[in-house]
Chain A
Amino acid sequence: MILSEESVRLMREKAQQYPRRKSAILPALTIAYRQVGYLDGAIYREISRTIGVPYVEIAEAATFYTMFPKQPVGKYLIQVCHNISCALMGADSLIEYLEQKLGIRKGETTPDKMFTLISVECLGSCATAPMMQINHDFYENLTPEEVDRILDELRARA
C-alpha cells in the first residue's frame, strides 16, 4: 500500500459525506497528493478500492486536473505564478533568479531531488505579487532576500 492508514481513513470519511461516492474523487486525489506528492496509476488503483469508484473514473478525473503532478517531483515543488499581475511585478525575473540559484531550468529537478521548479497560472495572490507556492504553502511579496531566506530554511529543514 502506498496510501497511509490516515489517508485511507480521511478518504472514507469524506466519501460518506456525499450523496454519491463519485463526488469524493477530487477530495480523495487531494488527500493522496498531500501524502505522496504526486499521483499515478498505482495510486488511482488504491483510491478506487478505498472509495469504491471504478479505476477509470479516478484516472479520467485526475488527468484533467493540472494541480496534481503525475510523476515524482522534488521534495519541494516550487510553483511560481507567471500570470499577468505577478508578471508585472517581476515574475519572469523571479523565475530566472530561481533558475540561477538552483542551477536548473524551469521544469527541472535538482540532482539531489530537493527542488523542482515550475511556473503555473494565477494562484489568487495578485495584490501580493510576485509569489510562489512551495508544496502547499504560499510565499508572497517576494524579494531576492526573501527567496534566499526561504530556500535556506527549506534546505535546513530537509
Chain B
Amino acid sequence: MSFYSPVRTNAAEAASSDKLHLFKYVEDPEQHTVKRYEEHGGYAAWKKVLAGMKPEEVIETVKNSGLRGRGGAGFPTGVKWSFVPKASPKPRYLCCNADESEPGTCKDRVLMERDPHAVIEGMAIGAYAIGCHLMFIYIRGEFGHCIERMEQARKEAYEAGHLGKNIYGSGYDLDMIVHTGGGAYICGEETALLNSLEGEKGLSRIRPPFPAVEGLYACPTIVNNVESLASVPHIINRGADWYRKLGTEKSTGTKVFSLSGHVKQPGNYEVELGFPLKKLIYDEQYGGGILGDKKLKGVIPGGASTPFLKPDMIDVGLDYESLVEQSSMLGSGAIIVFHEDTCIVWVILKLIHFFRHESCGKCTPCREGTGWLEQIIRRIEAGEGRKGDLETIEDLCGNILGRTICPLGDAAVMPIQSALRLWREEWEYHIENKKCMVKSHFPFK
C-alpha cells in the first residue's frame, strides 16, 4: 500500500513555472502539513481576505478572474457565489464536492492527498464570501487516504488558528466538517450530494429552488469542486488580472487533466486551459504517445459522460469552447485514450453498465432506460445482436435525453449517441457478423 497515490504528475514543470500553481508542491512529501504549507506561502490569501476584504470584493475578484467550475459543468464560480441571497436570515453553508467518481477522473484525489490545506484555504475564502460559518467537505467513502489527510489537515488548521473562533482576531468564526460518502456516483451531482449530506438517500432534487437559495437544511448553500476551490487562494494572492491572462479568453486559468487508458505515461498534468490535446497525448513530457506505438482509435476528452473524439478531431485546444466546437465537452478534464485494438461496442458496454449501476432510480427514463440500453448493448457485444437494435438504442437515447431531473440520464446517453455516429459501421458489423471487428483483450502487464 502506498499512502500517496503513485500517479505521475508534472510537478517539476509546475515548480519552475510562473503560470502553473496547483501542482507546484504536490511532489513535496511534507506539503500536507500546515507547517510546510505555510512555508510555501499558504494561508496568506485567507489572512489577506480577513484583514480587509469585504465579501463582495472577494466575489468580484473571483468573478473577474473568470474561474469556472472544475467539476464538469464549467459554471463561473464567482457568479455562483453571488446567487446567495444577501438578505436571507438563514445560516449559509459551503460544501466542497470531493465525491470524485466520474470514470477517468483522478485529480481531486491528488490535491486532497498532497495539498489538503490548499483546499481548506479555498473553502474558507469561499465561505467568507457567502457569509458562511460552517463548511463541509464531502469526500467519497472509498478515498480512505484523502479522508485521513483532510481530517488531519482540519485538525492542524484549527490548532494553527486558521479555523475556529475569531480567526486572526478578525471576529470571523468558521468551522469545518469532513463528511464521507458511501460509494454513489450520483452524489457528485450537487442536489443529490446535499440530500446525502442530510442523511438521506442520494436522490437528486428538482431545481429551482437552486441550492444557492435553498440547499442544505433548506438554507442557502454553495457547492464547489475541490480543484475550483484550490484555485481560489492563488487568485486572491496574485489578482484576477494575473489569472485572466492564463488560458484562453473565455476559459481562463489552468486545469489538471487526468490522462488514462492507452498512453505510455498516464498521469495528472496541470496545464493552461487551451493546451493542445494532441500535445498532451503525444509529448514526451506528458502522455508520451500511444501504448505499443499502436494507432489511436478514439479519445474521451472529459470523463465517461462526454462524447468521443476520433483521431482527426484531436487537433483541439483543451478549453470549454473548443471542445464544444468538436461536439464534445471539457467535463472534468478526464482524458481517456484507446487504440486500434479496442472494440467500440465493448467500450460502450463498460460505460452503460456503469450508468445503469449508478442511476439513483428517481426518474423513470433513466432508471429503466439505462437498464434496457445495457441489455441490448450486452447482447450485441455477445454476438447476439438483432436487426433494428441500433434504431431501438437511438430511440431509447432520445427518450432519456433531457427528460430527467439531473444530468445523469444525459451523461449515460451522450457517449452512446456519439459512438453510434462516429463508428456506425463497426456496430453494424458487430450485429451482422455476430462478433467484434476488433477483439478487446488487454492483459495486465
Task: Report which A residues bind B (CB closer than 8 A).
Answer: 17-20, 22-27, 29-30, 53, 57, 60-62, 64-68, 82-85, 87-94, 97, 120-130, 133, 136-144
Are the CB atoms of B103 and A88 closer together than 8 Å?
A: no
Q: When chains A and B are docked, how far (Å) is the Cα of A142 from the Cα of B1? A: 11
B203 to chain A, nearest CB (A): 8
Q: When chains A and B are docked, how far (Å) is the Cα of A36 from the Cα of B33? A: 31
Q: When chains A and B are docked, how far (Å) is the Cα of A88 from the Cα of B103? A: 12
Instruction: With A22-B198, A85-B104, A89-B261 given, name 10 new contacts (CB 8 A).
Output: A64-B201, A67-B184, A84-B354, A92-B442, A93-B444, A122-B354, A124-B109, A127-B266, A133-B142, A137-B144
Are the CB atoms of A125 and B347 closer together than 8 Å?
A: no
Interchain CB contact (< 8 A) of B444 among A66, A68, A126, A130: A130
Task: Please name 15 pairs of A and B residues whose Cβ atoms are closer than 8 Å in the assembled complex, sorted by A.
Answer: A19-B91, A26-B179, A29-B182, A64-B202, A66-B183, A85-B104, A85-B260, A87-B440, A89-B261, A92-B441, A122-B105, A124-B109, A126-B105, A126-B336, A133-B142
| Smallest Cβ-Cβ distance to B145: which chain A residue | A138
Q: When chains A and B are docked, how far (Å) is the Cα of A142 from the Cα of B2? A: 13
Q: When chains A and B are docked, how far (Å) is the Cα of A10 from the Cα of B56? A: 39
Are A84 and B304 also in contact (CB < 8 A) when A126-B106, A137-B144 are? yes
Q: When chains A and B are docked, how far (Å) is the Cα of A90 from the Cα of B291? A: 13
Q: How many A-B residue pairs have CB under 8 A?
A: 184
Number of contact residues on B: which range applies? 35 or more
Q: When chains A and B are docked, how far (Å) is the Cα of A89 from the Cα of B291? A: 10
B116 to chain A, nearest CB (A): 16
Task: Report which B residues bind A (CB closer than 8 A).
Answer: 1-2, 5-8, 91, 100-106, 108-109, 134, 140-145, 177, 179-185, 196-202, 217, 258-262, 266-268, 300, 304, 334, 336, 338, 342, 347, 350-351, 354, 357-358, 440-445
Query: In the assembled complex, which residues on chain B have CB atoms less than 8 Å from the CB atom of A144?
Result: 444-445
| Smallest Cβ-Cβ distance to B355: which chain A residue | A121
Are the CB atoms of B142 and A85 closer together than 8 Å?
A: no
Q: Which of A91, A141, A144 has the most CB of B within 10 A?
A: A141
Q: When chains A and B are docked, how far (Å) is the Cα of A105 from the Cα of B91? A: 52
Are the CB atoms of B142 and A67 closer together than 8 Å?
A: yes
Q: When chains A and B are docked, how far (Å) is the Cα of A147 from the Cα of B336? A: 25
A117 to chain B, nearest CB (A): 15
Q: When chains A and B are docked, how far (Å) is the Cα of A145 from the Cα of B169? A: 56
Q: When chains A and B are docked, how far (Å) is the Cα of A94 from the Cα of B443? A: 8
| Smallest Cβ-Cβ distance to B267: which chain A residue | A127
Are the CB atoms of A121 and B201 closer together than 8 Å?
A: no
Q: When chains A and B are docked, how far (Å) is the Cα of A137 from the Cα of B444? A: 20
Query: In the assembled complex, which residues on chain B have CB atoms less than 8 Å from the CB atom of A121?
Result: 101, 103, 185, 354, 357-358
Q: When chains A and B are docked, how far (Å) is the Cα of A60 from the Cα of B182? A: 13
Q: When chains A and B are docked, how far (Å) is the Cα of A133 from the Cα of B260? A: 18
B202 to chain A, nearest CB (A): 6
Interchain CB contact (< 8 A) of B199 among A25, A138, A142: A25
Are the CB atoms of B141 and A84 closer together than 8 Å?
A: no
Are the CB atoms of A24 and B199 closer together than 8 Å?
A: yes
Are A83 and B5 also in contact (CB < 8 A) when A27-B179, A30-B141, A89-B261 are? no
Are the CB atoms of B198 and A127 closer together than 8 Å?
A: no
Query: In the assembled complex, which residues on chain A have CB atoms less than 8 Å from the CB atom of B180?
Result: 26-27, 30
| Smallest Cβ-Cβ distance to A125: which chain B residue | B106
| Smallest Cβ-Cβ distance to A94: which chain B residue | B444
Query: In the assembled complex, which residues on chain B have CB atoms less than 8 Å from the CB atom of A83?
Result: 103, 304, 350, 354
Are the CB atoms of A26 and B144 closer together than 8 Å?
A: no
Are the CB atoms of B141 and A67 closer together than 8 Å?
A: yes
